[in-house]
Amino acid sequence: MLSLNHTSLFFNTAGGKSPVRFPALDIFKHRRYRVSCSNSYSPNKWKRQYTSVLIVPTGVGASIGGYAGDALPVARTLASVADCVISHPNVLNAAMLYWPMPNVLYVEGYALDRFAEDLWALQPVHQNKVGLVLDAGMEEDLRIRHLQVADATRASLGLPVLDYIITDTPLKVEKWVDPKNGQATGRIKHPDSLLRAVKTLYDRSINAVAVVARFPDDDIEDVDDYRQGKGIDLLAGVEAIISHLVVKNFKIPCAHAPALLPPPLTNSLCPKSAAEELGYTFLPCVLAGLANAPQYLTHGSNGCIVASDVDSVILPADACGGDAVLAFSNKKTKQPLIICVQENETVLNDIPDKFGLDVIKVSNYWEAIGVVAAHKAGVDPNSLRRDKIKNITTNSLIHSNGCVASSSRIYA
C-alpha cells in the first residue's frame, strides 16, 4: 500500500511488519512511482460516465449538419468533453470522409427515438458483422464501384464487411420537398424488395446493414443551392425513410448511402458540401460507422446504455418537435439538460416554447459544449456568466422565523 504526506512516502510491507519509510523527494526520482495530476482517467472510478446526445435532424436544411458531414467537427469536440456521445448518421457521415471516435455511438434515427422513449437499450460491441444491400436499379459500373469500396474498407481499414446481396427488384427511389414544412422526403416504390434482401442477410447472421439505393440524378440547377451551402439536402429525407424501414423491422443498425453519377466539376463549391464531390460513392463513412455501431435491445442488460444514462441533449433551437427530444424532456425522473443552439437554424419552427420545454438556450456550439463541460464538472453553468447568479430565494416551505412548516424533524 502506498500513502503520501508532505515529506515522506510509506510502504506497508507484506506480513504486517512495520512500514518502511522513504524520503518523498528520493522516491520521486524513480520513474515507476511518478504521480500524475491528470484527470483524464478512463473510466473515472469516482464518477459515473457523462453521456451526451447530439441531434441534427435530417433533410431540414440545418445550417450546421445539413450538408456533407459538416456537424462532424461538433461531434469531435463534444466527444473530447463527454465520456460518451450518442449521435446519428446525419451528424457522423461525411460521404468519403469519416473520423473514428471510440466514445461515440453511431445510432440510426428511428433507433435513437426508441432509445429516448426507454423502449430500446444500446449494447456497445467490439465488432458487427456488416452486410451490404445493393439496389438492382444500379448500373453495372456503379455496382462495381461500390463493391470496390467495400473491398477497400476490408483491406485498408479491416472493416468486417462480410456479405452482399442485390435486390430482386429495382427499389425505384422517389424524392421531393414537402410543401407544408419544406422538409426533404420521398419513398421507395418497392420496399418489399429491400426487406427481402435484408432478411436474406439477416438469416446469414449479418447484424448490421448498409443499403445503397440508386437515386435519380438531378438537374444541376436543382442541387446548385446545396452545392453552394444553401437550401436543403434533397436526398436526406428518403434516406432516413429507408434506414427507418430496416431498423423498425429487424432491430439492427442500418445506414444508407445513395448511388449517383458524379456531378460536373465546378470551381464554386461550398466546403460544407465538398465531401460528396470526392468520388463515386458515399459508402465509406457508412461502413465505418456500422462496423461498431451498438446493437439495439428491447430489454436492457448489464453493460447496456439506457435513456436514464443520458445527462444532456444538444440540438437546433427550432427543431424541438422530434420524438427523441420530447421523450427526453418528458421524463419524470433524471431529466437530461436540453441545450438548444440558436445559430443552427432549420426550415422547422419547432421552438421550445411551442412544446413547453424547459431548456438552456445558447447562441452556438461553442457555448453548448461549454455548458456540457460545466454540467459534467458539477458546476452551475450560470456561474460562468456575468451577473447570472442572483440572490438565493426563500423556499416556500420556510417560515420567516426559519422553521420548516411541514416537518417536525430537523435534518443536518
Q: What is the pLDDT of residue 6?
A: 43
- Look over the chain and give the mean of its residue pLDDT values, rounded to a whole number: 86
Quick one: pLDDT band at residue 395, thresholds 50, 70, 90? low
Q: Average the pLDDT over each of 226-235, 261-270, 382-391, 396-405 and give the range with the smallest value.
A: 396-405
| Of 216 and 28, the one with more pLDDT | 216
Place of cell 512495520: 18
* In the predicted structure, residue 243 carries a pLDDT above the cut 90: yes
Which residues have CB under 8 Å from 20's CB, separation 6+? Answer: 10, 11, 13
Q: What is the pLDDT of residue 406?
A: 40
Rounded mean pLDDT, 318-330 = 96
CA distance 87 to 74: 11
Quick one: pLDDT band at residue 226, thresholds 50, 70, 90? confident
Q: Fill in the amino acid letter for 139.
A: E
**Which residue in 254, 216, 238 sits closest to 108, CA to CA?**
254
CA distance 279 to 261: 10
Q: What is the pLDDT of residue 276?
A: 82
CA distance 261 to 337: 43
Rounded mean pLDDT, 143-160 = 96
Q: Are 131 and 291 in contact (CB under 8 A)?
A: no
Q: C-alpha angle 217/220/224, rounded to 5°? A: 120
- Taken in order 234, 238, 239, 244, is the CA torsion positive or negative? positive
Q: C-alpha angle 370/376/377, rounded to 5°? A: 90
Q: Fill in the amino acid letter for 68.
A: A
* In the predicted structure, residue 42 carries a pLDDT above the cut 70: no
- Taking only the tens place, the pLDDT of each residue in 262-288 is 777 888 888 888 888 887 789 999 999
* In the predicted structure, residue 404 carries a pLDDT above the cut 90: no
Question: In the chain, how many H helices and how many E strands?
Answer: 12, 17
Could you tell me what percent of the chain has a pLDDT over 70? 83
CA distance 30 to 38: 19
Q: Are 369 and 81 in contact (CB under 8 A)?
A: yes
Which residues have CB under 8 Å from 80's CB, separation 6+? Answer: none
Q: What is the pLDDT of residue 91?
A: 96
**Per-domain residue ranges of the chain:** 2-33
- Alpha helices by DSSP H, 4-108: 24-27, 72-79, 89-92
* In the predicted structure, residue 229 carries a pLDDT above the cut 90: no
CA distance 354 to 21: 67
Q: What is the pLDDT of residue 8?
A: 44
CA distance 9 to 184: 66
Rounded mean pLDDT, 135-162 = 96
Q: What is the pLDDT of residue 52?
A: 98
CA distance 137 to 173: 10
Quick one: pLDDT band at residue 123, thresholds 50, 70, 90? very high
Q: What is the pLDDT of residue 41?
A: 43
Pair type for strands 184-188 and 208-214: unpaired
Kindly report the length of the chain.
412
* In the predicted structure, residue 257 carries a pLDDT above the cut 60: yes
State the DSSP string of 357-384: ---EEESSHHHHHHHHHHHHTT--GGGG
Q: What is the pLDDT of residue 327?
A: 97
| Of 180 and 155, the one with more pLDDT | 155
CA distance 128 to 158: 12
| Of 273 and 148, the one with more pLDDT | 148
- What secondary structure letter does DSSP report for 248? H
Place of cell 435491445: 297
Quick one: pLDDT band at residue 187, thresholds 50, 70, 90? very high
Q: What is the pLDDT of residue 396?
A: 59
**Which residue in 108, 125, 78, 109 sits closest to 313, CA to CA?**
78
Q: C-alpha angle 292/284/296, rounded to 5°? A: 30
Instruction: State how far the alpha carbon of 87 is from the alpha carbons of 104, 235, 283, 326, in Å.
Output: 7, 20, 18, 16
Quick one: pLDDT band at residue 185, thresholds 50, 70, 90? very high
